[in-house]
Amino acid sequence: VTSSLSRFYFGAHMRNVITICLAALFLTALPAPSRAQLIAAKDGPIVYGHHHIYVASIPEAKKFWVDALGGVVVSLGSREMIKYTNLMIFFTEDKPGSPARAGTKGSTVDHLGFAVPDLRAAVAKLQAAGFPNVTRQELPPALGNSEKGGIAFVPEEKTSVAVFMTPDNVKVELHENKAMTTPVALSHLHFYGPDPVAMRDWYVKVFGAKAGRMGNVETATLPGVQLNFSKASEAVVGTQGRVLDHIGMEARDIEAFAKQVLEMGLPAMKVNRVATAENMGVGFVTDPWGTRIEMTEGLVKIK
């Protein structure tokens, strides 16, 4: 599933230890495989796995991601994660009084994309819950000026799109796919940087994604997700320390991936094994533009 809006958008180092918050997240037994499974996991040695979002209030965040958008809360030991088709979202709640984190805009990952079968119904639900619809402001003028009722129509693609902001300033793009058989699914991530071709090629080289192009947008496709790359109109910064601190990839064999990283001449990735039912492997890489990426093995059951 890809975002039709994407064609209209113009515009490392290793981590040797797991941070305290991640250790707290993973030091418990995993849920049963049937409750934490990426449908696309069987389709490649590396697939997209999760978003890790820092929030001011988990209950408030769940009003968007669960109540309005349709994610499902599942257990990870004593912790929770939000499950969508081909995606898990993990929350870490900042301590009261902590400085507000910057949102996704202005970072290398500008927005997160989801597909829904009935966009009008999804938009109505989000608007009724009071979440800001920023479709007109966030789309290029050619599309934003056509916005009606919080939705813009893309004539060439015969697809409707809408853009919302979460309580923690994560920019979320929704687009309609009437052929879907699930209520909501991961669609894409849209990256911005100084050289979209170089960004695309790095993800192709490192993760084995399939290179492509949609109009002015470079793409790299992995099972279950499309990564889109556009040229930024101004400087962007990396993700670490922002609301979307890092994105996550699931590897079938994390040790093999770590070896591959070295063979490519990239900084070494230390693999930590966490005491879970799956002896889960965790490591971090950072792309040359500052996007922090967590690699996992055993976070989900691959069937």
Torsion, Cα of 60, 62, 63, 68 (10° steps): 160
Tokens found for residue 177: 């796919």
Phi, psi of 205, rounded to the nearest 5 degrees? -65, -50
Q: Which pLDDT score is estimated for 43?
A: 64
Q: Which pLDDT score is estimated for 166?
A: 98
Where the chain has pLDDT below 70, the residues are 1-44, 77, 156-157, 276-278, 300-303
Q: Which pLDDT score is estimated for 1?
A: 37
On whether the CB atoms of residues 191 and 230 are closer than 8 A, the answer is: yes
Q: Which pLDDT score is estimated for 25?
A: 39
Q: Which pLDDT score is estimated for 34?
A: 31
Angle formed at CA 220 by CA 218 and CA 224, multiple of 5 degrees: 135
Q: Which pLDDT score is estimated for 36?
A: 44
Q: Which pLDDT score is estimated for 194?
A: 97
On whether the CB atoms of residues 277 and 230 are closer than 8 A, the answer is: no
pTM of the model: 0.85
Q: Which pLDDT score is estimated for 6?
A: 44
Tokens found for residue 248: 């996550």
On whether the CB atoms of residues 141 and 153 are closer than 8 A, the answer is: no
Tokens found for residue 186: 């991961």
Residue corresponding to tokens 């040359």: 288
How far is the CA of 46 from the CAs of 110, 139, 255, 302, in angstroms? 23, 31, 12, 11
In DSSP terms, 176 is beta-bridged to 116
Run of H or E residues at 227:
strand 225-231
